Amino acid sequence: MRLIIKNDSSEAGEYISQVIKKRINDYFKNRKDGDRPFVIGLPTGSSPLPIYKRLIEMNKNKEISFQDVVTFNMDEYVGLEFNHEFSYHYFMWENFFNHIDIKKENVNILNGNSNSHEKECELYEEKIKSYGGIDLFLGGMGVDGHIAFNEPGSSLSSRTRIKTLTRDTIIVNSRFFKNINQVPTQALTVGVGTIMDAREIILIVTGHSKAMALYKTIEEGVNHMWTASAIQMHKKSMIVCDEDATAELKVKTYKYFKEIESNY
């Protein structure tokens, strides 16, 4: 696992946007007719916003195209309509998809209003498989170290399913809602296992509030109480953070990753 430490959240976003651009462009450079599209997993939240903003610019400048990119979002609240201003559907279209050249049919987001959540989650897993898996899963991290909506205690081999949100997550996420009672108590989410199956994982971790989660994810062992720590077991993963998020790391860890960053 690599840790890239940038000065602030916009530099962290810039770095990840450049990596995504490179991965997509390299893929299409070597791709033969009839090959599968590039498949990317995407998160919501405030941390990825600088990345979406930059990717939109790159798309407008023709540095990158999403015409043959398929996306799978990580999660969605149960019970919010697609056009609800706090649904993840709304968030993704508002902040990203409406502004790039992606085909509508290539966007996949779990339906939190389905008749059978179990079936919905099963079909999501099958659809990911039908595209040959996910090339790059981009993720954020909750203050309690959760990845997608895999709350503390989630199985590290979990697949897409319904999860009940912890009180902590409801409180943290209530900042997006008018009041805490509006925050849904359940969500559909890809599992830790679903994310771990991706060929590459990149997490954006910015802000002082994530410092404890970053420390637990990197410096302590793999633990289902900090589900993002599972990525220690992934063969190609990277965390890009800002200085604020490093507040709980040991000086030794900080220096080591700073040192090897330039050697890459």
Ligand X SMILES: N[C@@H]1[C@@H](O)[C@H](O)[C@@H](COP(=O)(O)O)O[C@@H]1O
Residue numbers annotated as active site? 75, 144, 146, 151
* 198 lies in the site for ligand X, by CB under 6 A: no
- Distance (Å, rounded) from C-alpha 62 to C-alpha 168? 41
Could you say whether residue 169 binds ligand X (CB under 6 A)?
Answer: yes
Residue 51: closest CA among 89, 90, 10, 87: 10
Asked if 160 touches ligand X (CB under 6 A), the answer is no
Q: Where are the alpha helices (DSSP H) in the chain?
A: 9-29, 49-60, 88-95, 117-130, 167-173, 192-196, 211-219, 251-261
Which is nearer to ligand X, 88 or 257 (by Cβ)? 88
Q: Does 75 bind ligand X (CB under 6 A)?
A: yes
Do 211 and 247 touch, CB atoms closer than 8 A? yes
Quick one: 25 or 166, whose CB is closer to ligand X? 166
Query: Judged by CB under 6 A, which of 15, 149, 215, 257 binds ligand X?
Result: 149
CA dihedral of residues 221, 45, 108, 159 (deg, nearest 10): 20
Report yes or no: 189 and 112 within 8 Å, Cβ to Cβ. Answer: no
Name the one range near ligand X by CB under 6 A: 11-19, 65-73, 134-142, 247-255: 134-142
- Angle 162-180-158 (CA atoms, 0-180°, nearest 5)? 20
Count residues binding ligand X (CB under 6 A). Answer: 14
Q: Does 152 bind ligand X (CB under 6 A)?
A: no
Nearer to ligand X, 56 or 228 (CB): 228
Of 43, 241, 233, 71, nearest to 148 by C-alpha is: 43
Does residue 193 bind ligand X (CB under 6 A)? no
Per rule CB under 6 A, is residue 148 in the interface with ligand X?
Answer: yes
Q: What is d(CA 91, CA 44) in angstroms, rounded to the nearest whole number? A: 7
Among 64, 70, 74, 195, binds ligand X (CB under 6 A): 74
Q: Based on the shown chain and the rule CB under 6 A, indicate whether residue 45 belongs to the binding site for ligand X.
A: yes
Q: List contacts with ligand X (CB under 6 A).
A: 43-47, 74-75, 140-142, 148-149, 169, 173
